[in-house]
Amino acid sequence: MTSRYEQAGVSIDAGLKAVSLMKEAINKTHDSNVLNGVGAFGGLFSLGDKLKNITQPTLIASTDGVGTKVILAAALNQYNTIGHDIVNHCLNDMLCAGENIQPLFFLDYVASSKLRPRMIAETVTGMAEACQASGLALLGGETAEMPGVYQPTEFDVVGTIVGLIDQKAIYPRPTMQVGDLLLGLPSSGPHTNGYSLIRHIFRYTPLHAEYEEIGLLGEALLAPHRAYLPELTALKSAGVVVQAIAHITGGGLVENVPRALYDFDDLTVRIDRKSWPTPPLFELIQHKGKVDNMEMLRVFNCGIGMVIIIPANQAELALTTVDDGRIIGQVIQGKEIEWV
Amino acid sequence: MTSRYEQAGVSIDAGLKAVSLMKEAINKTHDSNVLNGVGAFGGLFSLGDKLKNITQPTLIASTDGVGTKVILAAALNQYNTIGHDIVNHCLNDMLCAGENIQPLFFLDYVASSKLRPRMIAETVTGMAEACQASGLALLGGETAEMPGVYQPTEFDVVGTIVGLIDQKAIYPRPTMQVGDLLLGLPSSGPHTNGYSLIRHIFRYTPLHAEYEEIGLLGEALLAPHRAYLPELTALKSAGVVVQAIAHITGGGLVENVPRALYDFDDLTVRIDRKSWPTPPLFELIQHKGKVDNMEMLRVFNCGIGMVIIIPANQAELALTTVDDGRIIGQVIQGKEIEWV
């Protein structure tokens, strides 16, 4: 016997099953700041001790998706990494705002035309794992069955992150100047950008195709977005001064590095394109898609997922602290980004 | 000349046009708490004066969608009300958490297979209007073009709300007791719940069908979700004590009223189904869909969008303060909700 509501395409039981599967992973992200079991209509997060030593408490918040990388996950029937993608994408964006940011919590939305418990549970479990790794509480979320809205096997994932920062610690530091260096940290793949173009380029290539340089195409493309919190924490512990940070997302280095300098109208950057090797996956994308160099740099991170701007005298300390970082350019006078 | 990225189905220009159209409406929601033009990778909201007189500052946050009401909006090519829906749905949920909640900010996500500037601009403008009406800053958002994920003309809308509350003010009040009354506030329609069933029931009925009782079907179904902040503010100003609040969403009165009593294992409610008239739209839905009474009450709000639990001696004051409210039941001893 099914209710009329189920006949209309909404299965309440499937949703409940998924919720129970992921509950354990979510609970691991909760500490005493999460007022669990209190308040039934929203997540409650006590600021309590978080406000200590902050003179101008400011919340930072960002909502985002992972783009059409969800299509690859659906095609491969692998969802856990998408959970890591959405959390780490939001986290890295947030970390660009300033010094000593305290990650507070994350909320998620997962929707599909038909709820499949394993899909929801894997996605949310991946989110919970990524939240736990970065000290974020997975505070709440919504799982929506939307018959008729999504393509049959597709789904979408949306995340919102909230953190706390002292207003006086917002980047860029006023000491930013010509000669500061760009410390580039490697990406783990295209992260969450450029997937519509990637899918277009590989539209006739099966995801299980194997390439010598990258292994299985599908797996290489699904590599989860790396979180840069450990590197930033290490740099801070080592005493490295950070002037500003750019998370390299849609728009690539071309658009995102200048965003980090927004307060300085007369400063731009010179980037040495030969200072880091292009990872094989990006070479394959460029070759197969006949994409020109500049569009590669506008659409993809091309191997650099985060750029940290540091004073020139900090380079040695920074490079010994973050062993896979490299100097990829410098701050210069001017308006337009320069490529050498 | 189109770039490869555009050939893959992602039009950057359409997105930029939409962003400029809605910018004006968004700016109206910003006051000095929003650190505009600062921080390029996330929205920044200064807590500053908001923390005054709060002993245990606690954030409340919730993420939600509007369900398949988006399909009706797309079919009617009317998007402004969906913006009101998502904000007011999140707002009403948040208001159930406790007394003196300060709405802080809202973030949105709008996605579709193909960005249509008018659709995005109308939706986000609607959100901005609803935010402004309730003192929320529209702090950030993401507009995502997701070719292949959504059905051709469909879209989805996700919202996240964040507010501030003093932990000691979280509902329910410890003074809740047998004999407290349920003040029901009328809904403006199905709000954002039950639309999959509604679309199933009216699957052979054109949206421009006209009924004597409700007018044009499509317009009646698209009526925006009402915000209950003005009523709650009026009750507070009048000195009415509120014990707990239930926002009547998915699960109807059956599931949502008990959620408001979660702290009291031995209390439940008796609801007098005849204490309020069923609005004609719900009668039409029930008649046409042959939905039984109990399922109506589980899927739809059936005319009551919010239930405010008040001490019996506050009823007169409450009813003169909120002129369209009515007493629909009371708190009783027991486990199972009773219907009379």
Residues of A with CB below 8 A from B111's CB? 65, 156, 158
Distance CA A34, CA A31 (A): 6
> Cβ separation of B57 and A47 shorter than 8 Å?
yes
Look at residue A41 and tell me whether its pLDDT is greater than 80.
no
Mean pLDDT score, A20-24: 79
Cross-chain CB nearest to A61 (options B45, B68, B201)? B45
Query: Would you tell me which residues 168-187 of chain A have a C-beta closer than 8 angstroms to some C-beta of chain B?
Result: 170-171
Kindly give, in sequence order, each residue whose CB lies less than 8 Å from that of residue A210, ignoring residues fewer than 6 positions away: A216, A217
Place of tokens 């030593």: A53
Chain B contact for A262 (CB, 8 A cutoff): yes
Look at residue A3 and tell me whether its pLDDT is greater than 60.
no
Amino acid at B268: T
Mean pLDDT score, A262-282: 95
pLDDT at residue B1 in the model: 36
pLDDT at residue B22 in the model: 82
- CA angle B72/B76/B78 to nearest 5° reads 95
Look at residue B38 and tell me whether its pLDDT is greater than 80.
no
Q: DSSP per residue over A195-250, as a string?
A: HHHHHHHTTTS-TT-EETTTEEHHHHHHPPPPP-HHHHHHHHHHT----EEEE--T
pLDDT at residue B115 in the model: 84
Domain coordinates in residue numbering, chain B:
4-169, 181-339
Kindly give, in sequence order, each residue whose CB lies less than 8 Å from that of residue A23, ignoring residues fewer than 6 positions away: none
Residue A157's pLDDT band, with cuts at 50, 70 and 90, is very high
Dihedral angle, C-alpha A171, A174, A178, A183, nearest 10 °? -30
Mean pLDDT score, B315-329: 97
Distance CA B93, CA B192 (A): 12
SS3 content of chain A, % helix, strand, coil (to 5): 40, 25, 35
pLDDT at residue B314 in the model: 96
pLDDT at residue A8 in the model: 65
Look at residue B39 and tell me whether its pLDDT is greater than 60.
no
Mean pLDDT score, B112-135: 93
Cross-chain CB nearest to B43 (options A57, A61, A142)? A61
Chain B contact for A51 (CB, 8 A cutoff): yes
Residue A15's pLDDT band, with cuts at 50, 70 and 90, is low
**B181-339: same fold as B4-169?**
no
User: Are A77 and A153 contacting, i.e. CB atoms less than 8 angstroms apart?
Assistant: no
Query: Would you tell me which residues 199-228 of chain B have a C-beta closer than 8 angstroms to some C-beta of chain A?
Result: 199-201
Look at residue A1 and tell me whether its pLDDT is greater than 50.
no
User: Are A224 and A187 contacting, i.e. CB atoms less than 8 angstroms apart?
Assistant: no
Q: DSSP per residue over A87-101, as a string?
A: HHHHHHHHHTTBTT-
User: Are A317 and A215 contacting, i.e. CB atoms less than 8 angstroms apart?
Assistant: no
Query: Would you tell me which residues 230-259 of chain B have a C-beta closer than 8 angstroms to some C-beta of chain A?
Result: 247, 259
Domain at B4-169, CATH from 3.10.310.30, 3.40.630.30, 3.30.1330.10, 3.30.465.10: 3.30.1330.10
Residues of A with CB below 8 A from B9's CB? 196, 200
pLDDT at residue A260 in the model: 92
pLDDT at residue A12 in the model: 64
- CA angle B2/B8/B12 to nearest 5° reads 60
pLDDT at residue B76 in the model: 95
Looking at the domain A181-339, which fold is it?
Phosphoribosyl-aminoimidazole Synthetase; Chain A, domain 2 (3.90.650)
> ipTM score here?
0.93
Query: Would you tell me which residues 111-150 of chain A have a C-beta closer than 8 angstroms to some C-beta of chain B?
Result: 111, 139-142, 144-150
Question: What value does the mean pLDDT of chain B take?
Answer: 93
Q: DSSP per residue over A58-74, as a string?
A: EEEEEEEE-TTHHHHHH
Token pair, residue A296, equals: 């590669």
For the stretch A238-247, pLDDT in tens is: 999 999 999 9
Question: What value does the mean pLDDT of chain A take?
Answer: 93
Amino acid at B207: L
pLDDT at residue B47 in the model: 95
> Cβ separation of A5 and B64 shorter than 8 Å?
no
> Cβ separation of B109 and A65 shorter than 8 Å?
yes
